[in-house]
Amino acid sequence: MLDPSDIAAIARELADADRNRTVVPLLTARHPGMDVDDAYAVQREWAKGRVAAGHRPVGRKIGLTSKVMQDATGIDEPDYGIIFDDMVIESGASVEFDRFLNVRIEVELAFVLADRLVGPGVTIFDVLDATSYVVPALEILNSHIELEGRTIVDTISDNAAMGAMVMGGRPVRPDAIDLRWVPALLSRNQTIEESGVSAAVLGHPAMGVAWLANALAKHGQALEAGEIVLAGSFTRPMWVERGDTISADYRELGTVTCRFE
């Protein structure tokens, strides 16, 4: 376990990297004994700084829940990060490209909770009962730690690479459709680059939310009513550049779009 002073120093380093748009060397290379608990401690310390600066937590993101994402990153277990109010963007918006580093897009479903979910022992059925609605979303990845050689410890410390999310399309009740079979076609500048089906997320996207509620319980935390939970990507991350127009077609659930300026 790292000393509290080391955890605070890493959190400040990552906050500075976000503010100055810089990439820092691998944490695990500089702190060989750093583990997952240390990484989440860094994330919590970093989040305290954001709250102190006036930002409000509005939910959580889950990462690395699908085989395609694990293969793409070389990391074989899920992780999670915190969503703040300034990270939520409406579909159709122009997004400032220079706000992020190593900019990539993922296709996801967002669960908006009506009830609190407290682990351990949360099941997929508890998640469906607690969900007010599910809505299409794009996650914008924002990585401040060098990508080559990174581990899950590096990723977690960097708030699981959460940059922002774009919400849109048609919200649906979780019992209105079979959530396993929600498809998506991800396009960049009118060319389809990726496609997938939401069952790629642990067999059912609600399984990701159940995993998160149980993982949070280990730290004495829970998912609260009203929170947004990004359940994890069911396509590989797609790199984007300034000027790109992004569109994800979710068939019956509509389309989510944004443009990077």
Q: Please state the domain extents for the chain.
A: 57-260
Judge contact between 221 and 213, C-beta under 8 A: no
At residue 138, the 3 state secondary structure works out as: strand
Residue 149 φ then ψ, to 5°? 85, 0
Amino acid in the structure at residue 83: I
pLDDT averaged per 10 residues, the chain (length 261): 94 96 95 93 97 97 66 66 98 97 96 97 97 98 93 94 97 96 97 96 93 91 97 93 98 98 97
CA distances from 140 to 61, 85, 161, 216, 250 (A): 11, 14, 9, 23, 17
- pLDDT at residue number 67: 56
- pLDDT at residue number 216: 92
Distance (Å, rounded) from C-alpha 121 to C-alpha 158? 28
- CATH number assigned to the domain covering 57-260: 3.90.850.10
- pLDDT at residue number 74: 55
- pLDDT at residue number 190: 96
Amino acid in the structure at residue 35: D
- pLDDT at residue number 15: 97
The widest CA-to-CA distance across the chain, in whole angstroms, is: 50
- pLDDT at residue number 68: 54
Amino acid in the structure at residue 41: A
- pLDDT at residue number 186: 98
